[in-house]
Amino acid sequence: MGRFLFVISLQVSVLVTQAQNSCQTVEYMHQALLKSPDFVSRMMEIENFTQGYIRSHNATTSSNDDSGLVVIPVVVHILYNNTQQNISDAQVKSQIAVLNQDYIRRNADTVNTPARFKPVAADCGFQFELAKVDPNGYATTGIIHKQTDVQSFGLEDGIKFSSTGGDDGWDRDSYLNIWVGNLTNGFLGYSSVVGGPVANDGVVVLYNAFGVGGSAVAPFDKGRTTTHEIGHWMNLIHTWGDAFCGNDYVADTPPQQAADYGSPSGIIITCNNAPLGNMYQNYMDFSNDASMNLFTQGQKQRMIALFQPGGPHYAILSSTALTGIPLKDTLSADEGSGSGFSVSLYPNPSTDHINVNFSDNSVFGSELEIFNQLGMKLTSTIIEELNLSVNVSSFPKGLYFVRVNKAQGALIKKFIKL
C-alpha cells in the first residue's frame, strides 16, 4: 500500500511541469482524490485485480484469455457554444474509424514503428461502435449535438451534466461516454479514473483535437487524443509513469525520464533505457499525433483485464446498445427525437408486401431499413416518394422492425409477417 501511495504522490508532483496542450488525466485524478480520499483503496483494488489477471495471463496461453474482439458501444456528446464547435457526424465517424484502426493495429502508420519495438506492438482486440439504442430503448445515431451557453469547460466535469451546461452521461455499464467541446486553456482532454463515480465515467476531448478533418487542427488532427484518453479509461498510465523515470506498470515499455513532445526522432536515451530508448511512438506519450502508432502487449494485458469477470468494465460486455432493435415501438418529436414526421404500415400483419406511408416529404433522401428480431438488416432503400411498397414475400414468418433514419432522429415501426 505504501508503494502505491508513493506512486500517486509522484504522479501529482509532476503536474506543474505538464504543458497546457496535453492530457490532464493526472490532474483530474488528483482532484478526484482530494474530493474522495477513500478512493485510493478502490484504485488499489483495481490495480491488484489487474496485476492478478496479468500474472494469470502470463501463466497460460493467450488464447485462453483474450481471443476475439471486445466491442464497446459509444455515445458522443457534442457540446457547442458556436457553430465551429458543433462538429459534424462525419467527423465523429472519422474518430471511430481511427479508434478501430489503432486498437487492432490496422493503422497505416504501423510502418513507422521502429524495428526495435515491432516485437511488442499489439493488436489489442477492441472495436468501437456508435450506439444504436439509447438508455430509454429508442433508436439513436449514438451522436448528441447540444448547444450550451458555457464558453469552455474545465476539469470540474461541468461538461458531463446538463445542470452545468453539459450533457448527462449514459449508463457506463452499457456505453463509453465521450464528451467533445471547448476546454479551458486549450488542454486536449482527460479521462475519468477507473472505478470512479458512475455519473462521471468516460472521456473528454477538445473539439479541434477530435477526429480527422473538419475542425481538427494539426498537430492533433489524426484522432490520437481520443485514442490516448480511452487508453486511460482502460487503466493505462503515461509511458513515463507520471514521475521522473516513473513506473507505468507495463513491462515492455522502456522507462523514460518524462513526456516526449512534438515530433521526436532517433533513439532518445533516458533512465538507462539503452539500447531501446524512449517509446515516443506509444499512444500513451505526449508526442504529436503523426508520431504515435502503437500500444504494446503489456498495455493490452492491462486493458483486457478490466473486461474480465469482476473487472470494472465487465458489465459493458452485456450491453444491448448495439442490437439495432430499439425496445420502443415509435419515436416521435415530443419524445425527444426531433424527427417531426410519422410513418404508417399496412397491411399489418402482412403476407407479400408491406406498404409504408410517410406524413410529408421531409423524409425524402432518408434511409428506410428493415431488421429481423436478431438485429440483422434484411433490406434498405432511400426514400424518394411518400408511399413505398416493400416486397417481404421471402421473409420467414415472424416479427420485423422498420426503421426510418433522418438527421434529426429515427422512427421505428413493427410489423408481423404471416
- Separation between Cα atoms, residue 307 and residue 301, nearest integer Å: 10
Contacts of 195 (CB under 8 A, 6+ apart): 39, 42, 43, 45, 46, 312
- DSSP assignment, residue 121? B
Q: Write out the DSSP string of 258-316.
A: S--EE---S----TT-TTT---TTBTTSEE-GGG--B-BHHHHHHHHHTTSTTSTTGGG
Sheet containing 343-346, strands listed edge to edge, beginning at the edge strand earlier in sequence: 343-346, 353-358, 387-391
Say if CB 191 and CB 232 are below 8 A apart: yes
Q: What interhelical angle do 39-58 and 25-35 show, nearest 10? A: 130
Q: What is the DSSP letter of 231?
A: H
What are residue 127's DSSP bridge partners? 71
Paired strand residues for 130: 74
Please say if 385 is a catalytic residue: no
Cα angle 225, 230, 231; round to 5 = 95
Whether the link from the prior residue into 349 is cis, omega within 30° of 0, is yes
**Sole residue written with cell 491488484:** 48
CA distances, 257 to each of 55, 254, 327 (Å) = 27, 10, 52
Active-site residue (options: 47, 129, 229, 367)? 229
Between strands 176-181 and 70-80, the pairing is: parallel
Amino acid symbol at 220: F
Please give the positions annotated as active site.
Answer: 229
